[in-house]
Amino acid sequence: MTALLDIDLGAIAENWRLLGAFAKSETAAVVKADAYGLGAARVGPVLARAGCGTFFTAHLAEAVALREVVPDARILALNGLAPHAAADFLAHDITPVLGSLKELALWRAAARGLERVLPAFLHLETGMNRLALTARELETLREDATLLEGIAVDTVITHLLAADTPEDERSQRQLQDFLAKAAQFPGARRSIAASPGIFLGPQFHLDLIRPGAALYGLNTSPAQPRKMQPVVKLSAPILQIHDIPEGVSVGYSGVWRAGRPSRIATVGVGYADGLHRTLSNRATAYFDDTPVPLVGRVSMDLATFDVTDVPANPGDMLVLLDARHGADELGQEAETIGYEILTSLGRRYQRRYLGA
């Protein structure tokens, strides 16, 4: 018996529409990491039919795969332009997000070789200190306009470092820094807001928003005015139920012992499937409308739940993720975030796509 992962594509499209209506800017879709683990090949076409014309991936390989299913969309690769990769970007009509003078030189050389102007997004550093053009590199660009010859700067972007904490003053400082730096590229669009930044207010929406996690039902910020539509339901059949006496342990190392005569249900989901080991003795599933605790260690392929107080039987389903207890809540139990829960979902589930 196989665990079932239901993914509501209609809810993802509705979340995209809600975000666009809220921000009133062009609304892109971030589908990196295989659409946060939910399947970019299925998510991409649904969003394209809903009206999305711009998609962000992290890597070029993700962008190339996405091109197969959204042939008419603009696709960008956030992680920049590696040496010798320009030909692949051009062959698949992928726009790079350039974050260094070296990357600009590579794209400029490609444009010169083709004798035409090539579009690009530029990533500007405002505080994250990961991938982006630094203040010194921007000064070099200001001093030497030839460094942008053959490149049409369509949009400049940056990334907020603390948008999930609305009271953090660094977001406002980043916005002002970004606007000042973006003025160096007159006519270029500006984009600063990924999912959490969208909910910081209209001053952060600018010309383009880049939702990712919010599309997939995650609550990305305390400032979020409404919950996104739930997208994922994960349910697993009970493989066996063991009746154990008080004092008997369950699972590796015996880290949980029954405090009473108990019924222990085993399901075929473990840390290889994205049920993190840190959820040992901490997670919650549901049998019908009743929560049941995970007890004992999560192992690679199995987890055990205390079903003493419910009329569960082998073959019945326990729900590990749904609207009541979603990736955000499971992430809290695992001492991580909902993003990691979604992107960790394994490939052994029977995936059912709904609402396409």
Instruction: Give catalytic residue positions.
Output: 32, 252
What's the sign of the alpha-carbon dihedral 121, 77, 160, 135?
negative
- The CA-based angle 33-39-41, given to 5 degrees, is 105
CB 272 within 8 A of CB 339: no
Alpha carbons 265 and 71: distance in angstroms, whole number? 47
DSSP-derived secondary structure for 213-264: GGGGT----TT-SSPPPP-EEEEEEEEEEEEE-TT-EESGGG-EE-SSSEEE
Q: How deeply is 128 buried, as exposed, middle or buried, from its count of CB atoms within 10 A (0-12, 13-18, 19+)?
A: middle
Beta strand 4-8 pairing with 232-244? antiparallel
Alpha carbons 271 and 239: distance in angstroms, whole number? 17
